[in-house]
Each structure stands twice: as C-alpha cells, then as structure tokens.
Structure 1
Amino acid sequence: MQVLNPNNIKIYNLSAGKSLPEWITDRKKRALQKNDTEFQKRIELIQDFEMPICSTNIKATPDGQYIFAAGLYKPRIRCYDVSQLSMKFERCMDSEIVKFHILSEDYSKFVCLQNDRYIEIHAQQGRYYRTRIPKYGRDLAYHSPSCDMYFVAAGSEIYRLNLELGRFMTSLKTNSTEINCCEFNPINYLFTCGTSEGHLECWDPRTRKRVARIDCALNSFMQEAELGGIPAITSLKYRDALTMAIGTSTGQVLLYDLRSDQPLLMKDHLFGLPIKGIEFHDPQDLVLSTDSRILKLWDRNNAKAYTSIEPGTVINDLCLLKDTGLLFMANEDPKMQAYYIPSLGAAPKWCSFLDNLTEELEENPPPSVYDDYKFVSRTELESLGLSHLIGSNLLRAYMHGYFMDIRLYRKAKSIADPFAYDEYRKNKIQEKIEEERTNRVKVQKLPKVNRQLAEKLLEQEIQVEAKKKSKKQVTNILQDERFAKMFTDTDYQVDMESEEYRLLNPLVSKLDKDRKKKYDDQLLLNQSKAGNTENEPSDNEEEVEEDSSDDEHTWSKEVKHQHWLIKKEERLKRKQEEYDAQMKPAFYEMESNVKIRGLRSDRDKIEKQHRKSSRRSLGERVESEKDSGVIHQQGSSIGNMEMTFSLKKNAQEKKHHLEAEKHHSERRKIRRSACDIIKDQRQKPKFWMGKRVN
C-alpha cells in the first residue's frame, strides 16, 4: 500500500506493489510470497484484479455487489464478486469492447458494443444475441421504461434497438456529422448526446423529437480552433433532474443547469487532454473528472480543488462506488488501479477492514521518503569538505541547500570531527549518572545560572509551606522540566546591568513586596481567626489603599531615577571616550619588538609639575622665576617695567649646548690664519711660457 497526501488529503493506493505473472505455478507463487517481504506487505483487495495487457472500461452493478471490467489482449470482459473478493467469471470476445452497459441489478444481463460494429447481448449463461449496426459505435445508453437501447456512432443518426421486440426502431437524425457520447437523465429520462462540433442535443424519447440544442464550444477555450478544429464533447454525466456536467476534448468540464444555455461554472484541467470520465460525489458535493493523465476532485459550487490523483499511466475509465471513498480506474497497465480516500466516506461493507487498516497507519505513520536523506546547507558542505560535490548526482538541490545520502553524511562527519562520538558518549554517560542520582537524598543547592531568581523562588516556596492552612498549590519552577534550561544554560542568564533590567527591576521588586505583604496579611488573618480576634475591615482597607498608593508613587519615582542614572552614565562614558581620544599619542609602533618609551612617563611628570605649581602662591612663583632668565627693567621708554624672557632649557639641552661650546673653542685653537700664505705668494716670481714675467 502506498500513502499519498496531495493537498493534505490522505489517499491510499491499494494497487501499489509487485504483481506476479500468470504463467507462474501456484507453488512458485506461494514460495515467492513467503520469501519476498514486498509481496507480504502488499494488499490484494480483489484477487486477480488485472488484465493481461490493459483495461479499457470498468463499471459496478447497481446493487454494488459486482464489478465489470473490459480489457485486452485477447479482448475479454471479467466479472468480480466483491463478497468473495475474487473473479466470478471471464468471457472472451472476438473484438475489442468500446463500451458496455449493465441491464440488470446484478451480473446476469449486460450489453457490449464492440469496435467492429457488432453488439453482443449477454445473459447469465453466456452470449444471448449478436447483431450489427451500420456505423462504428462510440457509446450506448438504455431507456428502461421502453426497453430501448440507444447507440451513437460515427454518423448523424442515433440507432434504437428494442430489446423486448428484438428489432431496430426508427433512428433519430441529428444535424451533426459525428456523435461521441450519450446519456439518459435518471429522473425525467431526457436523452442527451454530445457531438464532435461541440453541440449538446436533447431529445424527448416519448415524442422522439429534439427539444433543445446548446452550443458548448463557444463557452470553452478555443484551443483547438487555432489548429483548425472545434472543441468536441467527449463525456456526459447527470447529477439530478437539472444539473449536468459535460467534458470537452480540450480538457474543460462545464456544469450546466438545463434551464439555461450558459454554464454555471467551468473547470479546466490545464493539460489540454480530452475528458474521459465524470462522476458526482453527493455527500461531499464534489465532482470527479479525469483525463488520460490525472483525476481531479473539486468543489461543485466554486470549482476549488480538493485533491488529485496521478497514477503514472494512461487513464481510460473511472468508476466511483456510490456513497463510499473507494474508486477504481481502468488504465494502460495490467493492474487496475484501486484507491481509497477516507475523507470521501467509509469503505464499503465488503472491505470494511480498510477503515481499521488506515486507522492503524495513521497511529503509526510509515517512514518518510526523506528519512534516508540529510538536508545540508552550503556552509555545512564547506565545513565537511564536500563542496566539490555540488552539481553531481550525490547532491540534490532543494531551496537554500541540498539533500544528500545519510550514510555519506555520517562518513564525512566522522572524518571532519572524529571526536564527536566520544563527546556524545560522555554526555550520555553523564546524563545516566544524573538520572541515578535523582533517587538519592537531595540537598537544596542553588544553581550557578540565575542564582538570585532561584533564591526568590525558594523564599516563595518557604512562605507557602509556612502557611499551613493554605489549600493553594504553587508549582515550583526549579523542579519543572520545562524551565530546566533557565538555570543550567548560560544563554538564559539575566543581565542585571542591562538597561532593560534596571528599568524593570523597580517594578519587579514592588511586585515581590506586594506578594510578600499579601502572604503576611493572610497569615495574620488566619492567626486572628484562630484566636477569635475581631478586626475592623474598613480601617484595614483604608490602610491597604494608602500603602498601595504610596508603593505606586515610590516605584514610579524609582523608575525615573534609574532612567536618569542610565542617561548620566551614557554622558560620562562619551566624555571619557573623547578624553581618551585626545590624550592618545599621535604616533606609535605596531610591531611587537618595538616599545614606546617615555611617552606616558613624560606626560605624568608634566601633569605632576603642573599640579605642584598650581598649589604655590604668587610670591613663591616670582622667586622661582628669578633664575629662569626673566629680566626686569625699570624706567624704560615704553613703560615702567619691561620683561624679556629666555626659554628654560632642560638638562639634556644644557648638556648639548655645553658640548657644542667646548667643540667650537677647540676648533678655534687649532684654526690657522691664511694671511701668511697670501704674503708668500706675492713675493715669489711669476713665469709665463717658461719665461719670467715681472
């Protein structure tokens, strides 16, 4: 059994699984079923519910006890007894069955329309009568009041065969070239047929006259008109006396009220394939329509999708058991498809075990398809060293990551982090040790995380225990597993220095005071009752009201004070940052082997000297400045006093200055004058070209 869940609707495929070939003996079949687990787990709803190659048509009898199915090859029809869950009989034909119709309430009478223009009427014992129509038939319908069988074919006529008289009656002539399908209204017996030109013609079987003609092609998408064709009507189905559904060759389903020529609504399958079957499900007010690819279930009132089924093979016909959730489909596959949808209704009585089976499956859901795969993101792939697998068959892209085989993931994880299992094992051992320690006598020990909160909770618990007559039970958060991480995980640590906590803390403390006061008042009240003391409630109420108003005033002031302190701290912090930025040296070395020397010590010395000089008086400062190079003069031309300053040099500058003066004095001693050299040059004779010149 395969469980599908499209649109959150559970659908159980009862035909899923392997099938055994017909040529295998019964002994080999039993041996395969014993050894193969897939055969053991499969559900065979009806035994031999299949055809050699494919099935073309499937229907249930009006009493719901038998199911007919036509298929090939060789062309045949099979009848299944649902009470026995097995095949009742099988009859082979000379040619393929196009359509068949069940005449009786059970399996005893049915009519088959074959593709070689022959009509076969079968009774309980076998083929009863065989006749032929002039053109190739496409559909048939039965009018029970007159015992007339209507046949539509690749022509403009509707052939009538009276089964009571055993002869053909006068045919009905239409204005179309070909007729594809036909149907009788189950209430008023209005005969309706759909043509290849997209027209819907309605006939009254009592007067054998046409009463209405509707052009349905104009109300459907003209997809075939672009290719030179017109949407044809391929299927018909009546729900009641007025509601009718038609399917077109372009994949639309139109719902009509017989009192109007305009459709109530239209549902498009969006595949462009001809509609092959339509069914109504009255309890849920749904419509089931199928083409060769998909079966869609949708609301009859607003065409909203309910769910859908895609079997993966070409669908040929649809059969829905009345007022149940079980349906069958004939398809181009040896096994005929059986689906059970619990939301549509309960299973039929002959297979009521399906309800129990589906309930067990819902309690124990089967493993998901993705259990064998692991979803990893791109960053996780890079950490595992598997980023080179992107684009290969080992990774399947999905949304923002990839699916990979769980075995490959575990191998890569063990290589990337070989000690992960050891850590996991240590944690598990520690957990087991802690579980065993729980049975011992416990000593109340405060946790390291949120210690103050734990103290408050313990105080509250002690207050409750002290109140003996209290029937109110207060849950202890410390012993509650839901809040265990609050006292073990550091991520849940309350930051008491944060702005939010400081603004909220006055309110919390006020609530704690109110709670404590409430318990104290209750204790006093109990004691007073025990001692038969009388209290004045009016005075107490006034005191409580006065206290509550005072408390509200005090905690509101405290909140404002905390807000002012926070703002003040922010201003001081900004000033400190600005001061540090100004005092920061203008140059520094970043390398570790070079150290900045003297900057901080010189700055400290300057600040220290400045502080000392600021404490001295003016007279002391003047006396200290006598030796600093400051010259005082009186009676000058520009005033009574003139002051000239010479910069004070430090010890190092004085040392350099003395060394320079010593060097200059030494140079002056060894320096020679050039006057003697000039006198000697003037006294020597002059020569020019070897001759003396005076």
Structure 2
Amino acid sequence: TEVKSFSKFNIYTICKDNCVTSFSRNVLRRIELIQDFEMPTAATTIRVSRDGQYILAAGTYKPRIRCYDTYQLSLKFERCMDSDVVTFEILSDDYSKLVFLHVDRYVEFHSQHGHYYKTRIPKFGRDFSYHYPSCDLYFVGASSEVYRLNLEQGRFLNSLQTDAAVKLSCTVFCNVCMVMCGGKVECWDPRVRSRVAVLDCALSSVTEGTEVEGLPSVSALKFNSSLGMAVGTTTGQVLLFDLRSSHPLLVKDHYYGMPIHSINFHEQLDLVLSADSKIIKMWNKDTGKMFSSIEPSSSITDVCVYPGSGMLFTANEDPKMNTFYIPALGPAPRWCSFLDNLTEELEENPESTVYDDYKFVTRKDLENLGLTHLIGSPLLRAYMHGFFMDIRLYHKVKTMSNPFAYEEYRKDKIRQKIEESRVQRVQLKKLPKVNKELAIKLMEEGDNEDALSAAKKKKGATSILRDDRFKMMFENPDYQVDERSEEFRLLNPIVSKVGQQRRKKLQQLVEKEAHQQEDEELEGRASSEEEESSDDDKSWVEEVREQRRLIRAEERQRRFNERKKQDRNTNLQPRFYQIKTGEEFRSFGDVARKQKVTSLEERLRQEESSGMLNLTDTAVGSKQITFTLKKSEKQLKQQQAERDHHDERRKIRRSAGHLYTRGRGRGRGRGRGRGRGRF
C-alpha cells in the first residue's frame, strides 16, 4: 500500500510492484489486494458488476477479457477474443450477460458459459449504450447514423440520423438517450425516435480560466440526476450543465490539453471525478475547488469507481491495473474491509505524537535517579519493560542527581575534537609486533593499489591492516607465521606466484589508465601475456621441486647430525665377562694358543659358524670371499617358536587305538556289498 498525500487527504495505491529492487520503506507498505490483477500488455476497459462481486477488465495482447471474484480476491476466469475490444457493458447483475464491441465492427455476446452470439455493424464503432426499457443497443462511431439493435427481437431497427459525420460516444439516462456528436450534444427520445434538443458545447468551453487549443468536441458524457449533466471535451475541459439551461454552470480545465475520457460523480461529497490519459482530478461540482488528484506513472485508459466506497480502479497502458483507496471518499468495500484497519496504521500524521515529549526509562534508570517511589503514580506510564516519564521532569532530575554531567559532556566533546584533529595529521606507518614481514608485504600492495583510479579503488576490498576482523593476527604471538616450517616453504612459491600475478595485473591496469592502448593481437599467434604465463608456470614448478630437494637434503643432514651427536654423547664402558666354573683365566694368549693347536676341521667349523668360509686373492689384486648369510634374530625366533609349537602338539596328541571295534560298516565307495569297517 503506497501512500500519496494531497492537501489533507491520503490516497493508498493497493497493487503489486514487480519492478522494485531495493528494500525501501514503500516496499514494506505494499500489499496485493487482488491476485493477478493485471494484463499481459495493457488494459483498455474496466467495469464492476451491479452486485459488486465481480470486476471485469478487457486488455491485450492477445485480446482477452478477465473476470475477478472479489469474494475470493482472485481471478475467476479468462476468455480470449479474436480482436481487440473497444468497450463492453454488463447487462446483468453479475457476469452472465456481456456485450463487447470490437475494433473490426463485430458485436459479440457472452453468456455465463462463454461465447453466445456474434453480429456485425455497418461502420466502425466507438461506443454504445443499452436502453433497458426497450432492450435496445445504441451504437455510434464513424458514421452519421446511430445504429439500433433490439435484443428482444434479435434484429436491427431503423437508425437515428444525426447531423455529425463522426460520433465519439453516447449514453442513456432513464428514458432519455443522449447521443454526443461533434461539438454538440443531441438529445433523442426513444419513444418517438426523434431528436428533441441540441446543446452546443464548443463555444461554452472557451472562458477566461480555460486554455483551449483547437476546436472542442465532445468526448465524454455523464448524468448526475434527472437535470444534471457533465460533458468532457477533447481539449481537456469538463462542463457542468443543467438541462433547463443552455449555459454551463461550471467549467473545469485540466490544463493538459488531453481528451476527457471518463467522468464519474460522488453523491455523498458532491464531487466530480474526471480523468484524461494523464491525471484523475477530484473537485467540488458547485465551487470547482480541488479535493485531490491522482497521477499514475502510466497513461490512463479507463476509470471505474466502486459503488458506495472510496475505492476506484484504473485501466492503464501498462500490464498492471491500479487500485486506489481514498478513505476520505468513503469506507472500504465489504470484501476488503480490512483496509480500514491497515490505513489507520499507515496513516501519516505530521503532528507530534503522544510520546514525543516523553522519555523511556527502565527500572534500573529509576533506581539510579532515585525515583522508584514514583512507580504507580501518574508521573510514570508503564510501557513494555519500562516506563514513560515527562522529558522535562527527566532533565530536571538528571541535573539534580549529577550536577557535573554538563562538564563531563563538555570534556568528552573536547576530547573527541582533539582526537579528530590528530587523525588529520601526517601519521607514520608503524609495523606491528607480530608478522612484520606480512605487514610490509600488505603495505607494498596497498601502495601499488593507490596508483589505480578512484573508480577501481571502490571495487577493491578493505585493507587487511585496517580490518578489525584480522587485528589479532598482528597482535597475538600465536598467529606468528613460521617461515622455516615445511608447510610455509612448500606454499611460498604458490603465494609468491599469486602475488606476482596480482602485481602484474595492477601494473597493467595502471598502464591502461595512462596510455589507453588498444593493440589488437594477430590472429593465430599467442600473445606475450600467454607466453609469460606459461614461463611463470614452469618457473613455479621448478621452484617447488627445488624446495622439496632442499627439504630432503636438510632432513638427511639433520639425521646425520643427530646420530653424530648421539655418538659423541655416548660413554664407552668396559665389558666384563664371567668365567665358567672350573676354569681359570690366565691371559688372552691362551686363546691364541688354543686356536693354533686346533685341527683344520675344527677351524672350518668355527669359520662356518661365524659366517666366513673362504678368503682368496686374485691375480689382479682383488679379493674373493665366500661366506654364508646368517639368519636374522627375528627369523631365528620365529623358527624356534614353530619348533616349540610342533613339540607341544606332539605332546598333547592322543592315541586312537582304544576306538577300535568290530562292526558293520558301509563304505563310501560304489560297491553294494557288506563289509567291516573301523571307526
């Protein structure tokens, strides 16, 4: 619901806006009253049934008629036509009887189920009216004749011959048929089928307060009572007549120079609602004083006022059909009575509200001010989790409770001014205590970005150094980057590559801003940027490989240093041997003496047990050795475990000799004879 204020009255636009892209205040105040209240391209005519339940609208493209049920606030049905509709009328109280005038001279009748009958008039029609007492349809258009079609007899009757060659519209009031033609209004009586009066409106529209450009002709006509009549002209004037006089009672000019195509009367407030393709004006029929006006964003093609309410509908040169609700004209219709409550909530009053002169305080604020004894008195008005108190009383108590509040406020303001002046001074860039290398790198990138234009700087993100979200990265030592770690060294080539590409891109943007070069590359030849990119990729891969080789070499050197350090720290202790009982140790020479007296067979057995079999010298100076590989300690343990396991299984093996018995048994062979078996 969009509120537009004219004078002291508010107009509420109740529609669905599909073009809104921002979440503004007006968006929050929009509702969709009737679902799908629109046309594919544009709407031409809109009507309300006499029972007030149905709203019918004709539009294009493709030509169609849509019926909306106000009780369901949605579309009831839609019917497509063969050609565009000039105008249509509702003959019944509901939608069961409809008449359509098409641009191709066809007159189409619809019943409740759909298309009923179609006929054709001799000339192109502009408008028609229905005379209920005689069941006659009067058609006017590009002819001097007024065609009559009797719906009771189902045939055309004798036409009415007028003086004008072209007629724009006609209307019927009670038993009188008023036919507008040219700059005159001709009055015809259906009972005698003759013209009874002629009213010239062309000269009457020219007054001191009107601006008439061109020859006025009648474009709209509406009756107010048995004696009142309003005439709209093609030059933008509205004339109010009394049928007893040939002079207008009032002439109202729209000052747009556009034809008046719709006139409606509001009986309760004595207002006239006149509309051209640009604006809808509401003014007093006695004095001509403006009441309000509505100026939609698109051209208006038709206006329909909902009977007995302040709501009106407009057909526009736009897919959306507008719905306006003016509470000053009357209440909302019964089927949308909730609009009254909504408009009361949305009512904009520029005067001060009740709580503008009050201060909201909580119970804690009252305790600080020492005013808890006022709870329950008229000085405090309970509201939600606190109270409203008079703003003058609040300031008075605040001054008494804290007499130095003004001095503190003054000192705070002075301090703020001093800090603002300090910010304007030239400040040196100080490096943070943590991640200094990263800060230097970010500062250098920021200096490079300063070379860009202001338009491109707006697109860039906020610097990390000035972003509070990354403040702890330069203050907390836990975020210190370890450049000697393996992860950093492996990622550093990638980060360096990205930084180089970014600096290169910034440099290219700066050069483009300065020179505006537009060199076109030769077709089929790779550009220098692509070659540089491939070279950069190769260098990046080589750098990563080099880092991996360095890391492996450092790891080997580290292990070697650790072993060397362990050997250096190892304390060599003498080994002690225990002599078996019964033997006496004299010297190590006894062992050598025993080996000399040992036989060759014993020596070979000892060498075989030690693993060495033969050592010989060749003619070229090399040596040849024959030996047997010893089994590892793990294999020996495994073999010993297997032997122990087999020995254990042998010990627990049980004999099956006691199971020997004599008996009959049947073997599994193919033989069928009986035999003895053992189990």
TM value normalised by structure 1: 0.50
Corresponding residue of 1:145: 133
State the secondary structure of the residue aligned to 2:239.
strand
Q: Is the 8 A contact 1:249 1:273 kept in 2?
A: yes
Asked if the contact 2:189/2:195 (under 8 Å) is kept, the reply is yes
1:482 and 1:207, CA in 2 relative to 1: closer, same or farther beyond 3 A? farther
1:174–1:482 CA distance, 2 compared to 1 (3 A): farther
- Which of 81, 84, 92 in structure 1 is aligned with 2:69? 81
Counterpart of 1:133? 121
Structure 1 pair 70–19 and aligned structure 2 pair: CA distance change class (3 A): farther
2:246 alignment partner, SS class: coil
**Is the partner of 2:203 in helix, strand or coil?**
helix
Match of 2:14 in 1: 14
Tell me, what secondary structure is at the counterpart of 1:357?
helix
CA drift of 1:77 comes to 0.7
- Return the offset for 1:44: 1.2
Q: Establish whether residue 199 from structure 1 lines up as the match of residue 184 from structure 2.
A: yes
* Cα separation, 2, equivalents of 1:258 and 1:130: 37
Deviation per CA, 1:391-431, whole angstroms, max 9, x where unpaired? xxxxxxxxxxxxxxxxxxxxxxxxxxxxxxxxxxxxx9xxx
**Alignment partner of 1:257 is 2:242:** yes
Change in 2 beyond 3 A, CA 1:358/1:262: same
For 2:7, what is the secondary structure of its paired residue? helix
Given that 1:180 and 1:193 are in contact with CA atoms closer than 8 Å, whether structure 2 keeps it comes out as: no
* Structure 1 residues 265 and 277: alpha-carbon distance in aligned structure 2, compared to 1, 3 A threshold: same
User: How far off its partner does 1:308 sit?
Assistant: 0.3
Pick closer, same or farther for the CA change 1:41–1:97 going to 2, 3 Å: same
Q: Does 1:171 align with 2:103?
A: no
Q: Which amino acid aligns with 1:9?
A: F
| 2:42 is aligned with 1:70 | no
Q: Which amino acid aligns with 1:178?
A: V
Give 2:196's aligned residue. Answer: 211
The aligned counterpart of 1:688 is: none
Q: Which residue of 1 aligns with 2:103?
A: 115
CA distance in 2, matches of 1:235, 1:166: 29
Match of 2:89 in 1: 101
> Deviation of residue 222 (structure 1)?
8.6
Task: Please report how far the alpha carbon of residue 433 of structure 1 lies from its aligned counterpart in structure 2 after TM superposition.
Answer: 8.8
- Cα deviation, residue 38, structure 1: 8.6
CA distance in 1, matches of 2:25, 2:2: 15
Match of 2:262 in 1: 277
Relative distance call for 1:437 and 1:100 in structure 2 (3 A) is closer
Q: Deviations over 1:128-149 (max 9, x none)?
A: 1111111110000001111111
Give the equivalent residue in structure 1 for 2:323.
338
Out of 287, 309, 315, which is 2:294 matched to? 309
Cα distance change, pair 283–228 in 1 and its aligned pair in 2 (3 A): closer
Does structure 1 conserve the Cα–Cα contact (< 8 Å) formed by 2:211 and 2:253?
Answer: no
Q: Is the 8 A contact 2:176 2:189 kept in 1?
A: yes
Aligned to 1:353: 338
**TM-score normalised by the chain length of structure 2:** 0.51
* Structure 2 residue 272 is the aligned partner of structure 1 residue 287: yes
- Give the 3-state SS of the residue equivalent to 2:191 in structure 1: coil
Cα distance per residue 1:311-346 (max 9 Å; x no partner):
111000000011101100000110100000011111
CA contact (8 A) 1:18 1:38 kept: no
Does the 8 Å contact 1:191/1:202 carry over to 2? yes
1:589 alignment partner in structure 2? none
Q: Which residue in 2 is equivalent to 1:42?
A: 30
Determine the structure 2 residue equivalent to 1:464: none
Mapped contact 1:50–1:336 kept (Cα < 8 A): yes
Q: In the alignment, does 2:218 pair up with 1:230?
A: no
Which residue of 2 is the match for residue 2 of structure 1? 2
Q: Give the deviation of 1:43 after TM superposition.
A: 1.2
CA RMSD of aligned residues (A): 3.6
- 1:414 counterpart residue number: none
- Residue in structure 2 matched with residue 161 of structure 1 by the alignment: 149
CA drift of 1:56 comes to 0.4
**Contact 1:251/1:269 (<8 A) preserved:** yes
1: CA distance between counterparts of 2:372 and 2:320?
65
Q: Secondary structure at the match of 2:164?
A: coil
Deviation at 1:436, TM superposition (A): 2.2
| Cα distance, 1:365–1:108 mapped onto 2, change above 3 Å | farther
Q: Relative to structure 1, is the Cα distance of residues 438 and 75 closer, same or farther in structure 2, using a 3 angstrom cutoff?
A: same
Which of 55, 58, 71 does residue 46 from structure 2 map onto? Answer: 58
Superposed, 1:682-693 pairs within 5 Å as: none
How far, CA to CA, are the matches of 1:108 and 1:226 in structure 2?
45
Q: Secondary structure at the match of 1:134?
A: coil
Distance 1:290 1:480 in 2: 52
SS in 2 for 1:354: helix
- Post-superposition Cα deviations, 1:254-297, rounded to whole Å, max 9, x if no partner, equal 01111111111011101111001000111111110000000000
Give, as a single letter, the amino acid of the residue that structure 2 aligns with 1:192: M
Matches within 5 A, 1:208-607: 208-221=193-206, 229-362=214-347, 436-439=368-371, 481=393
* Partner SS, residue 220 of structure 1: coil
Whether the aligned pair in 2 keeps the contact of 1:319 and 1:328 (CA below 8 Å) is yes
Provide the secondary structure at the position in 2 that maps to 1:360.
helix
Structure 1 residues 363 and 255: CA distance shift in structure 2, 3 A: closer
Which amino acid in the other structure matches residue 55 of structure 1?
A: A
What is the letter of the counterpart of residue 436 of structure 1? N
| Cα distance between partner residues in 1 of 2:312 and 2:12 | 11
CA distance in 1, matches of 2:289, 2:53: 33
Distance in structure 1 (CA, Å) of the matches to 2:102 and 2:57: 14
Q: How many residues align?
A: 375
Amino acid at match of 1:193: V
Q: Secondary structure at the match of 1:141?
A: strand
Q: Is the 8 A contact 2:238 2:251 kept in 1?
A: yes
User: Once the 2 structures are TM-superposed, how far is the Cα of residue 438 of structure 1 from its aligned partner?
Assistant: 3.6
C-alpha separation in 2, matches of 1:174 and 1:364: 55
Letter paired with 2:171: E
Matches of 2:291 and 2:80 in 1, distance apart?
Answer: 39
What one-letter code is carried by the residue in structure 2 that aligns with 1:44? E
Amino acid at match of 2:149: L
- The answer to whether the 8 A contact 1:55-1:72 is kept is yes
Q: Following the alignment from structure 1 to structure 2, what is the Cα–Cα distance between the partners of residues 18 and 274?
A: 30
In the alignment, the residues of structure 1 paired with residue 345 and residue 35 of structure 2 have an alpha-carbon distance, to the nearest angstrom, of 23
1:301 alignment partner, SS class: coil
Cα distance, 1:221 vs structure 2 = 2.8
Go from structure 1 to structure 2 and tell me whether the alpha carbon gap of 1:37 and 1:227 turns closer, same or farther (over 3 Å shift). Answer: closer
Matched, 1:180 2:168: yes
Counterparts of 2:226 and 2:153, CA distance in 1: 29
- Write the distance in 1 (CA, Å) between the matches of 2:319 and 2:206: 35
Q: 2-side partners of 1:280 and 1:433: how far apart?
A: 59
Deviations 1:416-467 (CA, angstroms, capped at 9, x unpaired): xxxxxxxxxxxx9xxx9998244499xxxxxxxxxxxxxxxxxxxxxxxxxx
- Secondary structure of 2:133's match? coil
Residue pair 1:99, 1:113 contacting (<8 A) in 2 also: yes
> For the residues of structure 1 that align with 2:191 and 2:337, how far apart are their CA atoms?
44
Residues of 1 paired with 2:158 and 2:255: CA distance? 41
Q: Establish whether residue 190 from structure 1 lines up as the match of residue 154 from structure 2.
A: no
Q: Give the superposition deviation at 1:16.
A: 5.0
SS at match of 2:248: coil
**Secondary structure at 1:179's aligned position in 2?**
coil
Q: Name the structure where helix makes up a greater proportion of residues.
A: 1
